[in-house]
Amino acid sequence: MLIAVDGPAASGKGTIAKRLAAHFGLAHLDTGLLYRAVGLKTMGKETHAEFESMAIDAAMGLDTSTLDEEVLSTAEVGIAASRVAQIPEVRKALNRLQRKFMEQPSGAILDGRDIGSRICPQADVKLFITANPETRARRRTEQLLTRGLDVTYVEILKQIEKRDKDDRENPAGAFYQAADAHLLDTSKLSIEAAFQAALGIVERATG
């Protein structure tokens, strides 16, 4: 079984994908971490003449077994990820890794921005998880504060809105909901309710 989960930052897609993976015994890949790892490797070098080629090299040499979720989940790395995600050759290299991951014999679930639309259009089920920007900013702020990071709701909301816009307008691969994706708005749902709703969609879609 192949499941594609897409959605904007802090929509709940990562948590839902992880829980669906555990429930169905599927391998899970958070594809945002790939972009984040490349973003982290090139952070601070944005004005460098060789910025693009450094990002492409980082994407081509990326070792997915070394992704450290804790280090990669900061707001700054999210912004750096969005920047390198605009480089077509970076996307090409990371797309190859994602397509390889899909070949797991156990089946796979991938979450990101373009899984249902470009990476895995043949997925058995496609979910598009969303929530309003204010709810997403509140969730992300709480998450980062719990981890001891010094952030405010206002700055996180601003970053989320900018990242939404950059991802929607990304010339190297605009972010949109696949026509055959099931929409799930988690704005008013707890994590448990959102997971149960997603599980219901997958079960109905796969019989």
Nearest distance from residue 156's CB to ligand C5P, in Å? 12
3-state secondary structure the chain: CEEEEECCCCCCHHHHHHHHHHHHCCEEEECHHHHHHHHHHCCCCCCCCCHHHHHHHHHHCCCHHHCCHHHHCCHHHHHHHHHHCCCHHHHHHHHHHHHHHCCCCCCEEEEECCHHHHHCCCCCEEEEEECCHHHHHHHHHHHHHHCCCCCCHHHHHHHHHHHHHHHHCCCCCCCCCCCCCEEEECCCCCHHHHHHHHHHHHHHHHC
Q: Whose Cβ is closer to ligand C5P: residue 9's or residue 178's?
A: 9
Give yes or no for a contact between 167 and 8, defined as CB atoms under 8 angstroms apart.
Answer: yes
Q: Is 78 in the site for ligand C5P (CB under 6 A)?
A: yes
Cβ proximity to ligand C5P: between 118 and 182 the closer is 118
Interface residue with ligand C5P, options 82, 130, 159, 186 (CB under 6 A): 82
Shortest Cβ distance from residue 155 to ligand C5P (Å)? 16
x/- letters, 167..186, toward ligand C5P (CB under 6 A): x-------------------
Stretch in the footprint of ligand C5P (CB under 6 A) among 28-36, 57-65, 123-131, 152-160:
28-36
Contact 37, 62 (CB under 8 A): yes
Instruction: Assign 3-class secondary structure to 173-193.
Output: CCCCCCCCCEEEECCCCCHHH
Q: Does residue 159 touch ligand C5P according to CB under 6 A?
A: no
Nearest-approach distance from CB 188 to ligand C5P, in angstroms: 22
Nearer to ligand C5P, 26 or 160 (CB): 160
| Interface with ligand C5P, residue 12, by CB under 6 A | no
Q: Does residue number 35 form part of the binding site for ligand C5P (CB under 6 A)?
A: yes
Q: Which of 19, 113, 126, 136 binds ligand C5P (CB under 6 A)?
A: 113
Q: Which stretch binds ligand C5P (CB under 6 A): 107-115, 144-152, 185-193, 196-204?
A: 107-115
Contact residues for ligand C5P, defined by CB under 6 A: 9, 31-32, 35-36, 78, 81-82, 85, 112-114, 163, 167
